[in-house]
Structure 1
Amino acid sequence: MLSWNAASDCCSWDGVTCDPMTGHVTRLVLGRLSPNPGCYSSAGSSDSSEPSTLGLLDLPSPQEAERPSRSNKLLQNLTKLRVLILDGLDLAGIDVARLSNKELSGYLPESTWNSSLKVLDLSSSGFSGVLPESIGYLHSLQILWLYRCSFTGSIPSSLSNLTRLTHLELSYNEFSGQVPPTLSSLDQLNLLDLSSNKFVGPIPNVFDNKTRLLLLDLSHNLFEGPIPPSMKNLSNLVRLDISNNLIGGFIPSSLFSLPSLTSLDLSSNRLSGHIGEFLAAPTLDHVDLSSNQLRGSVPSSIFQLGNLTYLSISANNLTDNNLSLSNSENTEHVLPSLLSISLSGCQVTEIPAFLRKSTSIEWIDLSRNRIHGDIPSWVWDIGATSLSYLNLSHNFLTSFEQVPWKNLLILDLHSNLIQGPLPPLSLPNSVIIFSLASNQLTGYIPGSICEMKGLQVLDLSRNNFTGTIPKCLENVSNSLLVLDMQENRLSGTVSLKFTEDAALRSLHLNGNQFEGPLPRSLTNCKQLEALDLGGNKLNDTFPDWLETLPRLQVLVLRSNRLCGPISSPGTEFSFSRLRILDLSFNDFTGPLPSAFFAHLKAMISIDQNGSEWKYMNQGYYQDSMIATMRGRDMLIGRILATLTIVDLSSNKFQGKIPDVIGELRLLKGLNLSHNNLEGHIPLPLGKLSELEWLDLSSNELSGTIPTELTNLTSLEVLNVSSNRLIGSIPQGHQFNTFQANSYHGNLGLCGFSLSKACAKYQAPRKLPLLPEGGVHSFLIDFLEPRVVEIGLECSILLGLIMHILKELSRRLVM
């Protein structure tokens, strides 16, 4: 830095790199940390502007680095810093180091830490690797914030040396192993957040001296064992969250006597026993005990929690739930501050009467219970202006009359016993999700349903509706994401005309009686991911015009009257996202086009976006479909994002199976059965390593079964029956598990799982002339010495007899 001259262009200085277009400094490699104030932002600048455009800062050696008078401000103002090299840096003189929300990467070095550092914030910075033991040298550290980095390994034991820590935030990393008991020395903690890591073993019993702790979050780990008894000493604890672990045993009653506790989340664990008495924790306003193994009844003392705003005890094994007994006019049974209640799967037999006093309620979930009959009239007065979510699905309700809530967003009544015609609806415009699926509704779908201008999900599936689709639904196509009317008795043509601003993501009309062509306006639905029109009477050709839909993943047209060939794709990106294709039970003809399969990129390799979704559409609505899997028709209630199927069975396809199908390496199921396919089974099918079922039955396939298919170690079901296959059945891996019905109807097959053993190979003998004794003598001389074995192929024997008859006929003529 001694060579730096403020009178010259700083971009020419040693260790300085500038952007050739803007002249801004983008990289500094400093032997000594005493930055010249004349060069931070623009080349040749003489002012003291801050280095906001700096992209890389390299501070290499402690022995050459001087104490920076402006270090704190320099680090905090590097708003575009992307790479920070701290190797060997002595951070002397820095009290606060904040590098959060920067796209940095690399390892946190084993540096000579500054013992006076008080705040270290690297949140969302991208640092990875193991947290170094040298962090224990930061004796003055009060706040350590490492939220959403990529740290791995265990917590260093030296962390126990940081006895002045008040905030320890390690959430959303990849830390693993057990939490060291040495954390007991951190008795100044106000906040301890270890959530969303991979910690295992018991929660350490280290809370005897944590009387200053206000927030404890251990959620989303793999902790097991009981809740440690020392938690009873957390006298100032306000929030406790140990949800989504493997915690077992009973809920200690001491948790409900913590004097400052307002939020308790023990959900998604393995807790058992009875729910404790809530009466002892009058400060509680948020309680979540859902998804455990609790039993018994909810204590009546719950009604003395005057501050309670959120209560969830869903998905437990509660019986004799005394909430149903509160349907008396007892004015003491009221939760005046309640905003949200979830009692799903709690054996509730009546809508709890205490809700009639909940004038500000926003969220009610009483699904999966035993509520019978009509919805009580007083329910419609609950939260007239506040209620936004009502879920009464999976009960035994028989009717409903009106929907008066002005700000309702979600109304879910699916899987009940609601009968008769659907009355004219007067739903508020605020409704975005409306489901009456799986009831017993009949008659026409009223046009008043289209008055919900903001409707996003409309699910009327699995009822007995008749008539046509209300044409007025076209008026909400710019907001409608899901239209599900599958498995009704709707008829006519699919006459919906979607406009260019259509938002449709899923369309399920399968299992009806629709006729005519496929709706061409679907090409305007650029967001469409799932299209299921199977099980109708549609009459059209293959919809190659759907290839322009960039997001289409599921295309089901099974069991219709579609015909003609499948044409080659017209663009480079045709059906590139498609991963479920079901055209079975139609009248498609012609060969299987190799070019079409070559464009199915989503079946060849994982999406470049690296989607981590486990299921399609993980929102409130879940796509479902019927598919032939492993030889059986199955209802798939939730479609896995990894499910990849091609089903072209029961058509009139001809020719050979294209080798390119062997490139669809993500295929789980392939069904080409009941066609007119011929030729050999392609050897490249042996590369389908993910394949779980393969059905090539009822075709005209010939030759042997390739031994390459033994590489399919995921294969559970194989069916090559009713073809013209010959030779021995391969052995090894999955082929040792398949039964005889996988091969029946192939008279030339022999070997394992069949009663026909394969003959040892013997070179064919030259046919002799007929002896004087005629045909009978010939058979004795030629066949008897060979002793016809069980494995002799019928086709060879037939050819031999035909040859004998032909030779006999020739001699008689002579």
Structure 2
Amino acid sequence: MGWLSWFCLLFLLSTTCQFNSTCSSANSSSSLSSGHLCHPEDSSALLQFKNSFSIDTSSKRELYNGTILFSNRTISWQKGKDCCAWSGVTCEKMTGRVISLNLLFGGLQGNIHSNSSLFSLGHLKRLDLSSNDFRGSPIPSKFGGFVSMTHLDLSYSNFSGPIPSEISHLSTLVSLNLSQATVTLDTLSLSRIVQNLTNLRELNLDNVDMSLVVPDSFKNMSSSLKTLELSRCNLQGKFPESIFHRPNLRLVDLGYNYDLTGYFPESNWSSPLEMLDLSHTRISVDWHHLTRNLKSLRDLSLSNCSFVGSYLACLGNLTQIMRLDLSFNSFGGHIPWSLFLNLESLVYLNLAYNNFVGQFPEVDSNSTSNSSLYDFSKQPLVGPIPRHLTKLILYENQLNGTIPSWLGSLPSLEELYLSSNQLSSNIIEFQSRSLSVLGLSDNKLDGLIPRSIFELESLHYLDLSSNQLSGNIIEFQSRSLSWLELRNNKLHGLIPRSIFELENLHYLDLSSNQLRGNIIEFQSRSLSGLYLSDNKLDGLIPRSIFELEKVTDLDLSSNNLSGTVKFGPKLQSLRELNLSSNHPSLSFNHLSNNTWPQLRSLDLSSCNISEFPYFLRAAPNLDTLSLSHNRIQANIPKWLLDLGKDSLGYLDLSHNSLTGTVGPLRWKNLYYLDLRNNSLQGELPIPSPSTSYIFISNNQFTGEIPPTICSLSSLQILDLSYNKLSGKIHQCIENFSKSLSVLNLRNNKFHGVIPGTFSEGNVLRNLDLNGNQLEGSLPQSLLTCRELEVLDLGNNKIQDTFPNWLEYLPKLQVLILRSNKFSGEICFPKTKFPFQKLHIIDLSHNRFSGLLPTKYFENLTAMINSQEHGLKYMGGRYYQDTVVVTIKGFEIEMKKILTYFTIIDFSNNTFRGEISSVISKLKSLKGLNFSHNELTGRIPPSFGEMSNLEWLDLSSNKLVGDIPEQLVNMTSLSKFNVSKNQLVGPIPRGNQFDTFENDSYSGNTGFCGLPLSKTCSAPHQSPPSSFQQEDDLEHGNGFDWKVVLMGYASGVVIGISVGYLVLSNGTPNWLVKVVARKKRRRIMKITK
């Protein structure tokens, strides 16, 4: 309950006590003088008033701890009994006329009409009809006829329409409360109220729509005014400064009027103001004047008032302050903890959502000078905080270090929020018996959860999520725990039984941990949010979960749960259901007699489903549906295409075996469509213009792309790859220039030229047109694609010279031009630092000629600097970039591209000249292929410095000389091919060179030495042979396997891809040969 609600509650209690006191006095008078009973006209009027409504006899209001505050009042109103003794009725002693009527929370339901008998109670001075239900009826103008009225409260009783100007006739009114969100007030009516109600001391118009009121209308308010509450009223414009100078003003609440402007007084003046709320307004406040002039302040809320800097030192002047809220500002620097030494009455402190930095101060218990900071029994402070503090809110700052132990010793602490900071180390022990709310989420806390937290008997809210906590969750002592959030940690073990037995549990999130075991039956019937995903839970899903009448969000995904999911009639409140990625035996009943009007999101992906769930028909308001990665083998049914026409926004049916054509897509608000990896055919379906993400790859759609695609002005990702689409690519790409980031048309049958309609300011990041029949030259409008990271135009019929103008694209990382008709020499760069972020370049299978572009190699920064410490995949939330490259002789599609994966493939061209040693500077290079060119000269010895290189192919050139011994240092090398050159001399031995077979060297008649059968005639100094290494190993001569393992470890990325090939295509021949040769060597050695 917010502070203002508590304030109002206290006010109501106070008012009620006054009512009851007067009532008791009147009743005593009646008992003493039987001649002064309730006036019969008033008694009759009250009974008629009661009978004009239906009464909610169960109406009551409870505090959060279960204490009943008020209940139905009119149950004692019975004909023939003295109405002065009725609940809520107070009479004048001498006349018996009703002068006060309190029906707060009276359970009244119905309309109040202008002829209601209520208005015949002409002697009424106090009337409270708040918190009833008058069914949206207007406030009758007859309320202005109570000429003796001093207190009128019609708040939160479901009135509607304008506040009648006749209210201004109540000239004796002292207190007026009309707060509720369904009534309005205009400038004229307000001006009359301000002008005529000269005795008004309390005015509460919270939530009244005053968007048409000129705030200056308040400037003539009564000088007697003590309380002014105008929060959430849509006030706009400048608020009169003079209001704050009212001599008796005690409380001002203008909060949440976002467009209210003005100035808080800055001159030297004193004010008795005790409560001030300017939160979420644009009223300008001079911090120094405020703290100097308002020394009586007990409650100050300046949340979201655009404060910047560090002004907190001035708070020391507010010695009476009890409640302080400065959240949602831009205060920075260190929190001046010493200022709290003077704030001994402080019980509530909220500094959340600021930019405070630094650490909590520690208290040296051995220092006598700080004795007041740790002597809890005699001093008002615990640490730098008053010992009476009940609420401390510091979340969303930049506090670091550890949580100080003195925080756990605050004896009155009820609520502590330190979430979303950078706090580290262990959580402290908490000693406060009154602690009910503890929020420490989104920090860097580690270790075990302290036992003292599980023993907090008053705890009803606990959030320790998104830390690095480990260990088991033990049994909770608190029986009132209603909110428990421990997600994103490293907790393991079983879920304790006490959690399932919590009867008041409202929200439970234990997701993304390592919890195991079964889920047992829940005792709570008030559970609304249940999240147990991403654990190791198994067993049957308990029946009680599907009988939770109030559950709105249920996520049990990514576990190993089994059994039959029985959607019963009690899940009427369910909004989100996620059962994806569980045990294959999980099944679903197909009840059709239940409706799910509240169901918005359903995820049953990876649930081994073989047909479309029939119960989906009963969920007409779905906005998210995922049935991906199942075994559904059917056409998409018509009823599914009609499901959620006005609501469905996200649809994922990918990775099934769907067949047939797709009918018209009529979803008006669809933004995400995923049909990839099915067997759908026919004409390409085009969704509504609101769609942003379309994934229809790996199907069998044919024909041209319908022109209606040009209407998708919000399109961000379009992936139509691996279909049988044909025709030309539409010129309307320009329509998407402000939104389209990915265009993937790979492996279709598109022909013609690449559209040249890329416009300035486009956000295209990935353009993949590989594997089509595109012709012509590259459009230079690609230069406008300043965000482009991936350009893949391979396997087309493009005729052009090398597009060196692409070096102007600052973010280009992948360039694939392979298997086209590019020709000519690659000239010198046009810029000083070309292609700095490029880490994959494939120009293979073209007609390039001339010398290798050494000047470009010198500036490939992404290949020079090793980036393996930053494992990051290219792409975004909905799309991972892919590329097809030749790796160690295998053509492999990489489903994800690591930013440090670097290759150069210039093979199958007519490059000539020598290989420059500059290439050896590319330290992070993984693969280099210069094969099938006309290169001459020697292999640079500096290649031995390329320790990360995993494959090197220089075959089918005209290289001469020997293989440099330095290449033995390439410990990551697993594929080496220099065949069909003019190389001579001994083959180096040692490290990876002991694994290469004959085909790595074939076609070079001058080679000798293993693995060839030709022996070298002259002695040659070389590293120890593999025979000797094996012999040394057996005799303990210290062969260091670290060298070999380092090479294999650095090739882990390639290993994943090759591993896939091994599984799908069988063991590669080269690997079989390596193993066989090793075995052969051992046999030779034994026979010797």
> Could you state the TM-score of these two structures normalised by the residue count of structure 2?
0.59
User: Which residue in the other structure is 1:419 paired with?
Assistant: 681
User: Which residue in the other structure is 1:403 paired with?
Assistant: 665
User: Which residue in the other structure is 1:491 paired with?
Assistant: 751
For residues 60-79 of structure 1, what are the structure 2 equivalents within 5 Å? 69=319, 76=326
For residues 433-444 of structure 1, what are the structure 2 equivalents within 5 Å? 433-444=693-704
* Counterpart pick for 1:450 among 710, 735, 741: 710
Change beyond 3 A, Cα 1:217–1:735 = farther
- Work out the CA distance in 2 between the residues paired with 1:153 and 1:707: 52
Q: Does the 8 A contact of 1:421 with 1:443 survive in 2?
A: yes
Pair 1:164-2:426 in alignment: no
Once the two structures are TM-superposed, the CA of residue 343 in structure 1 deviates from its matched residue by 0.9
Match of 2:471, SS?
strand
- Work out the CA distance in 1 between the residues paired with 2:636 and 2:1020: 81
- Work out the CA distance in 2 between the residues paired with 1:706 and 1:742: 15
User: Which residue in the other structure is 1:153 paired with?
Assistant: 425
Pair 1:350-2:611 in alignment: yes
Pair 1:359-2:627 in alignment: no
One-letter identity of the residue aligned with 2:492? E
1:396-449 deviation digits (Å, cap 9, x = unpaired):
222211111111112222222112344xx5632111122321111222222222
Pair 1:373-2:672 in alignment: no
Q: Does the 8 A contact of 1:513 with 1:536 survive in 2?
A: yes
Q: Does the 8 A contact of 2:328 with 2:352 survive in 1?
A: no
One-letter identity of the residue aligned with 1:199? L
User: Which residue in the other structure is 1:469 paired with?
Assistant: 729
* Counterpart pick for 2:884 among 621, 626, 638: 626
Moved more, 660-669 or 492-501: 660-669
Structure holding more helix per residue:
2
Pair 1:502-2:768 in alignment: no
Pair 1:639-2:897 in alignment: yes
Q: Does the 8 A contact of 1:624 with 1:636 survive in 2?
A: yes
Once the two structures are TM-superposed, the CA of residue 589 in structure 1 deviates from its matched residue by 1.9
- Work out the CA distance in 1 between the residues paired with 2:384 and 2:846: 75
Q: Does the 8 A contact of 2:500 with 2:520 survive in 1?
A: no
Match of 2:928, SS?
strand
Q: Does the 8 A contact of 2:335 with 2:356 survive in 1?
A: no
Match of 2:634, SS?
strand
- Work out the CA distance in 2 between the residues paired with 1:164 and 1:428: 55
Moved more, 700-709 or 663-672: 700-709
Q: Does the 8 A contact of 2:733 with 2:758 survive in 1?
A: no
Once the two structures are TM-superposed, the CA of residue 305 in structure 1 deviates from its matched residue by 1.0
One-letter identity of the residue aligned with 2:900? T
- Work out the CA distance in 2 between the residues paired with 1:759 and 1:434: 66
Q: Does the 8 A contact of 1:53 with 1:78 survive in 2?
A: no
1:519-550 deviation digits (Å, cap 9, x = unpaired):
22111122222111101111111111112222
User: Which residue in the other structure is 1:601 paired with?
Assistant: 861
Once the two structures are TM-superposed, the CA of residue 754 in structure 1 deviates from its matched residue by 5.4
User: Which residue in the other structure is 1:322 paired with?
Assistant: 588
Q: Does the 8 A contact of 1:373 with 1:399 survive in 2?
A: no
User: Which residue in the other structure is 1:651 paired with?
Assistant: 909
Once the two structures are TM-superposed, the CA of residue 580 in structure 1 deviates from its matched residue by 1.8
Change beyond 3 A, Cα 1:698–1:335 = same
1:437-471 deviation digits (Å, cap 9, x = unpaired):
11112222222222222222222211112222123
Q: 1 or 2 for the larger relative contact order (CA 8 Å, sep ≥6)?
A: 1
Change beyond 3 A, Cα 1:284–1:581 = same
Q: Does the 8 A contact of 2:494 with 2:517 survive in 1?
A: yes
- Work out the CA distance in 2 between the residues paired with 1:44 and 1:85: 21
- Work out the CA distance in 2 between the residues paired with 1:212 and 1:234: 7
Change beyond 3 A, Cα 1:614–1:186 = farther
1:735-769 deviation digits (Å, cap 9, x = unpaired):
55555544444555566655566677479xxxxxx
- Work out the CA distance in 2 between the residues paired with 1:716 and 1:253: 53
Once the two structures are TM-superposed, the CA of residue 622 in structure 1 deviates from its matched residue by 2.6
- Work out the CA distance in 2 between the residues paired with 1:281 and 1:562: 66
Q: Does the 8 A contact of 2:777 with 2:798 survive in 1?
A: yes
1:723-743 deviation digits (Å, cap 9, x = unpaired):
455555556654555555444
Q: Does the 8 A contact of 2:313 with 2:339 survive in 1?
A: no
One-letter identity of the residue aligned with 1:623? D
* Counterpart pick for 2:928 among 661, 670, 673: 670
- Work out the CA distance in 1 between the residues paired with 2:758 and 2:628: 34
Change beyond 3 A, Cα 1:238–1:538 = same
One-letter identity of the residue aligned with 1:443? G
Identity across aligned pairs (percent)?
A: 41
- Work out the CA distance in 2 between the residues paired with 1:416 and 1:497: 32
- Work out the CA distance in 1 between the residues paired with 2:401 and 2:467: 14
* Counterpart pick for 2:491 among 223, 226, 237: 223
One-letter identity of the residue aligned with 2:826? I
* Counterpart pick for 1:614 among 865, 872, 879: 872
Pair 1:180-2:477 in alignment: no
- Work out the CA distance in 2 between the residues paired with 1:92 and 1:603: 61
User: Which residue in the other structure is 1:7 paired with?
Assistant: none
User: Which residue in the other structure is 1:335 paired with?
Assistant: 596
- Work out the CA distance in 1 between the residues paired with 2:290 and 2:457: 51
- Work out the CA distance in 2 between the residues paired with 1:71 and 1:695: 77
RMSD: 3.7
Match of 1:372, SS?
coil
Q: Does the 8 A contact of 1:160 with 1:185 survive in 2?
A: no
Match of 1:596, SS?
helix
Q: Does the 8 A contact of 1:183 with 1:206 survive in 2?
A: no
Once the two structures are TM-superposed, the CA of residue 317 in structure 1 deviates from its matched residue by 2.6
1:708-731 deviation digits (Å, cap 9, x = unpaired):
555555444344444455555556
Change beyond 3 A, Cα 1:56–1:651 = farther
Once the two structures are TM-superposed, the CA of residue 620 in structure 1 deviates from its matched residue by 1.7
Pair 1:527-2:787 in alignment: yes
Aligned length: 703
Match of 1:341, SS?
strand
1:197-233 deviation digits (Å, cap 9, x = unpaired):
222232x2132x2223222121112222222222123
Q: Does the 8 A contact of 1:41 with 1:52 survive in 2?
A: no
* Counterpart pick for 2:564 among 297, 318, 342: 297
For residues 261-280 of structure 1, what are the structure 2 equivalents within 5 Å? 261-277=527-543, 278-280=545-547
One-letter identity of the residue aligned with 2:912? Q
User: Which residue in the other structure is 1:114 paired with?
Assistant: 384
- Where in structure 2 are there 5+ consecutive unaligned residues? 1-284, 295-301, 364-372, 374-382, 1022-1088
Change beyond 3 A, Cα 1:69–1:414 = same
Match of 2:430, SS?
helix
Q: Does the 8 A contact of 1:474 with 1:496 survive in 2?
A: no
1:621-673 deviation digits (Å, cap 9, x = unpaired):
33222111233111112223332222222222233333333333333333333
Change beyond 3 A, Cα 1:665–1:195 = farther
- Work out the CA distance in 2 between the residues paired with 1:364 and 1:44: 57
User: Which residue in the other structure is 2:474 paired with?
Assistant: 205
- Work out the CA distance in 1 between the residues paired with 2:734 and 2:433: 65
> Could you state the TM-score of these two structures normalised by the residue count of structure 1?
0.78
- Work out the CA distance in 2 between the residues paired with 1:740 and 1:500: 55
- Where in structure 1 are there 5+ consecutive unaligned residues? 1-39, 60-64, 764-814
* Counterpart pick for 2:796 among 536, 543, 555: 536
Once the two structures are TM-superposed, the CA of residue 309 in structure 1 deviates from its matched residue by 0.8
1:92-122 deviation digits (Å, cap 9, x = unpaired):
6464555544445444342351351444444
* Counterpart pick for 1:391 among 609, 634, 652: 652
User: Which residue in the other structure is 1:699 paired with?
Assistant: 957
Change beyond 3 A, Cα 1:85–1:381 = closer
One-letter identity of the residue aligned with 2:901? L
